[in-house]
Structure 1
Amino acid sequence: MAEVATFAISDQLLVVIDPIARRTDGESVRIAKDVLSAGAATKVCLPEGPDEFARALARRGARRPVVIGDDGALTRAVALLHRQRQLAECVLSVVPVGGALALAGSLGVPTGAVAAARAVLDGVERRLDLLVDDSDGVVLGALRIPPIRDPGAPAGASAVGPGAGRPWLRTCQSLVRTLVPARGTPETAAAGPSRLRVEVDGATLVDLGHPVEAVSVTPGSSGVAAVEVRPASVGAEASPLRAEGRTVTVSGAHFRYRADTAVSGPVRRRTWTVGEGALRLVLPGAG
């Protein structure tokens, strides 16, 4: 992770404000916008949906894009720039606003509106590794199999879904789930050990004959990813298996995976490759 360039306050900024951020924390959005406008020439975009969000980034011209939003807005922006094959030429800034900010914080972005906006103006460009999969998806922070879910939610349910805030509807749904047996499809299979083959740079770390509880893959800072496999324990807890490499392939039974903020699948095989220094992100300078 190397410092590449500092930025002058004369830079022109394209400030894209995610609609969720506007709804959930309008005051932080206003503060960030005021700080940015006081330090640079800004053009503010207020997209109402994913299509307008994508068009705003695609038409940025010479302006440096600044995304005001949560982790979902950050990953959406990176994924769009990657699919447009513009990630290598774009220096991205983010001001985290909203409920889910852990990913931005883990990358080194301040999670306070004022500090993050000042970093946009006075920070440095740093190149960070990410993961790119064979379906053109990207991972900034961590990949997990099986996906982490809200421990209070029933298996197969999202944290917020039909019946939220309506106890009578949740009671009816619970009764239906009791009376109608779940179908044994890959989408609704009960959580438990999976039989997966995990290969790192072509070498098998764990094979189908050894059930696993969890797999995690995290991009590092030197062109390799850190892989950890937790075998299903019998009696005493089994020690995790660890490896590093540039490519990671997982195959076997249908599985879902969480990449940053999104859950994907089920798939039978997926390969992730490290994109060394592929994300050009503005972060606070040293000191």
Structure 2
Amino acid sequence: MSAPDQLLVVIDPVARRFDGESVRIAKDVLCAGAAAKVCLPDTSEEFARALARRGSRRPVVIGDDRALVRAVGLLHRGGELGGDALSLVPVGPRETVRLAVSLGAPPGAVTAARAVLDGVARRLDLLVDDRGEVVVGGVRIPEGTPSPEPSAPPEARFRPSGGGAPVPSVWGTCRSLVRTLVGPGPGRVPQMRGQRLRVEADGRLLADMDDPVDGVTLVARDGTAEVVVRPRAAAPRRSAARTVTVSGPGGTGFRYRADAEPTGPVHTRTWTVRPAAWSLLIPAPALSPEGA
């Protein structure tokens, strides 16, 4: 059997606890279709050792977004991220696999496992900070809100059965409606928001300390980092750059969220985009009748 048919299947302990049945189904499909070595790490150290000792086997992770980001980070630090495409079978509550699905990994155990066996590699950009830590999805400042997500490929977007536009988030719609109807309430004054940050994109100044902003987001897309700065009293400022540096006030710094992880406070952080730094196996697009 050739090297591409050799798999190392690393099953995250959180996935085993959350949905053992989906884990079992995915493992059975993978073992039936390839020579698979299955690892059941209980700690992050065991997870790292399993990936480091995989040899010529293709890495497959069964788990959520945190497991995906952990695997990408380990492969990056080992200088192996640009080699074999990484495969993921998303297992976890919907909110914990949102990033993986947005990147193209199918949410069903059987479909995702089949994509491991006969899918195609999707090249993806990566953000790497000045400590060598990776960001797969995006960065959001301040850290109290979920991380932005990259655009999903067309085949990964959810649509109603009759076609048409993607289905909007029900919870997002409800929250917007409640905010509109309730407002700040009688006798209450809305809190003034704003964070003092200095934001530079390839040396261009997008915000300075005397110009408070409501937030900043960074997402790696199409070979650059998309930067959106949202001032308190002006339209959002958008820019595309290879390197983005954010600095906070000397005494307090700033907090941010990279993917699912809150970090800080830090005084300065620099992110650099690595175009097409890694690849993820996703389902092969279905052939149209004309191309079949």
Q: Is TM-score (shorter-chain normalized) higher than 0.5?
A: yes
SS at match of 2:248: strand
In the TM superposition, residue 127 of structure 1 has moved relative to its aligned partner by: 1.3
Number of residue pairs the alignment of both structures matches: 236
Asked if 1:136 corresponds to 2:132, the answer is yes
In the TM superposition, residue 112 of structure 1 has moved relative to its aligned partner by: 1.0
Change (3 A) 1:191 1:136: farther
Matches within 5 A, 1:146-185: 146-149=142-145
Q: Which runs of 5+ in 1 are unaligned?
A: 1-7, 151-189
Detail structure 1 runs of 4+ shifted over 4 Å in the superposition: none
Counterpart selection for 1:83 from 72, 77, 83 = 77
SS at match of 1:66: strand
Counterpart selection for 1:59 from 39, 53, 63 = 53
Q: Deviations over 1:201-240 (max 9, x none)?
A: 111011111000100000102x11111011123xxxx311
Amino acid at match of 2:194: P
Structure 1 counterpart of 2:31: 37
Amino acid at match of 2:259: D
Structure 2 length-normalised TM: 0.78
In the TM superposition, residue 149 of structure 1 has moved relative to its aligned partner by: 4.3
Q: Take 1:284 and 1:205, find their aligned partners in 2: how far apart are those partners?
A: 39
In the TM superposition, residue 271 of structure 1 has moved relative to its aligned partner by: 0.6
In the TM superposition, residue 42 of structure 1 has moved relative to its aligned partner by: 0.4
Q: Deviations over 1:49-101 (max 9, x none)?
A: 10000000000000001000000100011111111222122321000001210
In the TM superposition, residue 252 of structure 1 has moved relative to its aligned partner by: 2.2
Q: Take 2:97 and 2:192, find their aligned partners in 1: how far apart are those partners?
A: 27
Q: Assess if the C-alpha contact under 8 Å between 1:106 and 1:141 holds in 2.
A: no
Structure 2 counterpart of 1:242: 238
Amino acid at match of 1:85: G
In the TM superposition, residue 136 of structure 1 has moved relative to its aligned partner by: 0.7
In the TM superposition, residue 10 of structure 1 has moved relative to its aligned partner by: 6.4
Q: Assess if the C-alpha contact under 8 Å between 1:9 and 1:122 holds in 2.
A: no
Amino acid at match of 1:68: I
In the TM superposition, residue 12 of structure 1 has moved relative to its aligned partner by: 0.6
SS at match of 1:210: coil
Matches within 5 A, 1:207-246: 207-221=208-222, 223-233=223-233, 238-246=234-242
Amino acid at match of 1:208: M
Structure 1 counterpart of 2:278: 279
Q: Deviations over 1:168-220 (max 9, x none)?
A: xxxxxxxxxxxxxxxxxxxxxx9941110111111101111100010000010
In the TM superposition, residue 9 of structure 1 has moved relative to its aligned partner by: 10
Change (3 A) 1:145 1:10: closer
Counterpart selection for 1:16 from 10, 26, 42 = 10
SS at match of 1:263: strand
Q: Take 1:96 and 1:73, find their aligned partners in 2: how far apart are those partners?
A: 9
